[in-house]
Amino acid sequence: MSMNNAYFAQGQDMDHLRPPEGCRPGIDCERWIIRGARVIDPASGLDTVTDVFIDKAGIVGVGQAPMGFTTDKILDASGRWLIPGVIDTWARLREPGQEHKATVASETRAATASGITTVCVPPDTDPVIDTPAVVRLIKRRAQLAGGARVMSIGALTQGLQGKRLAEMVDLKEAGCVAVTNALKPIESLAILRRALEYAATFNILVIIQPQDPSLAHKGCAHEGAVASRLGLPGIPVAAETAAMAQVLALVEETGARVHFVNLSSASAVRLLERAIDDGLPVSGGVSAHQLFLSEMDTDAFDANTHLIPPLRTLRDRDALREGVTRGVISVIHSDHQPHEGDAKAAPFPEAEPGISSLETLLPLTLRLVEDGVLSLHDALQRITSGPAQLLGLAAGGITPGLRADLCLFDPEAAWTLDADTMLSRGRNTPFHGWDFNGQVTHTWVAGRMVFQRFGLS
């Protein structure tokens, strides 16, 4: 797929169901009838062929039009699936600060072409997302881009330096859906404890990527037989579980809501399950690529498989899949990290970690259905209503009153991922040449059609 066979609509921000004053019919205040699609909504359990009605930014009817509803925007969606727009809870767009890698405009357009309507960005930008001014800057750039909605995750500490707490309440009031220190270390457990106490007081979600920096020091692959054979410095599983255990001990004392992101090991899944069984307010997420790849994929020194956390053993991969199946892991995200070509041209240990993964989040999640790991409803729940519930968003479902963030999907379309024609600025993917079944044909964000694949009505 290339930019030449897709249509992207530009428009204003439509965060709320109420249209902006003076909105223009057909542009800001579109009315749509999506007719005859198989409507699949994991949040309500709906799975039936019916019509969906959109007015302004919201869904106003499912199955039956509201009284007096008229429009000439009628889309025949026979044979296709209408699903809630995908919510990606962890993706870097590189702007501001690293526009040589990607921009908000390039990545939000890649997102909408892949059925993603909301993207949550960590705070390790330049400047760091530690003030309301930076939150507003990112929101404005997303509005100008006219693609997917971008939600900021605020910094847990000022400048992500791990020393002084950020003004979390101000960040929440500015629109941040959570706070995190990403992979930046926190100076002491005492500071982390104060941060969790503060967050618990104001019911702010804290996102933690568990990795002990001293144990992970300069590692680039899973510490095991493959890394030893290749001569690569390893990152032990203990780097993940030791950090997790410390946070869980503090959660037990503070009552803070914590979501663990980018889990990579069987041991981490066991720790998370035990904490959930003990009644702690914790949850977990995994990147889609960790459910398919393992340390064996690093064997060819492909820098596109240099990830943090690293790809671990097949046993770990299968344990992550089982955790997703049983609902221990409630969210699947992309961990999108686009890079320019030179960043991946260096030898494996020196290459920058991460893959470009917005365009594979939905396809890989649906591949779990083909592999028998998840039912269709459960797979969609992990990337729609599950993330919406985690972040407290009025999205993730197809119900009157919710925001009209929707994705129309052709389940019969077969395609092959070609890195050279990806819409993201980053072409760094280990999934080049993979075949997928099903493709996004249309995407709506707050009632506006922001993507349509050419050649389709």
For residues 40 and 385, what is the distance between their CA atoms, to the nearest angstrom? Answer: 12
Q: Which residue has 């990112």 as its token pair?
A: 138
Decide: residue 93, CB within 10 A, 0-12 exposed, 13-18 middle, 19+ buried.
buried
Question: What is the C-alpha separation between 338 and 217, in angstroms, rounded?
Answer: 23
Annotated catalytic residues are: 335
Q: How far apart are CA 336 and CA 422, in angstroms?
A: 13
Measured from the Cβ of residue 332, the count of other Cβ atoms closer than 10 Å reads: 28
**How far is 16 from 314, CA to CA, in rounded Å?**
44
> Given the DSSP bridges, would you call strands 331-333 and 282-287 parallel, antiparallel or unpaired?
parallel
DSSP state string for 287-351 = EGGGGT--GGGGTT--GGG--SSPP--HHHHHHHHHHHHTTSS-EEE--B----GGGGTS-TTTS
Exposure string of 120-150, with b = 16+ CB inside 10 Å and e = fewer, is bbbbbbeebbbbbebbebbbebbbebbbbbb
How far apart CA 222 and CA 373 sit, in angstroms, is 24
Non-local CB neighbours of 304 within 8 Å, separated by 6+ positions: 344, 355, 428, 429, 430
Cα 57 from Cα 18, distance rounded (Å): 7
405 contacts 383 by C-beta, under 8 angstroms: no
Task: Determine contact, residues 145/184, Cβ cutoff 8 Å.
Answer: no
Which helix (H) or strand (E) segment holds residue 66: the answer is: none
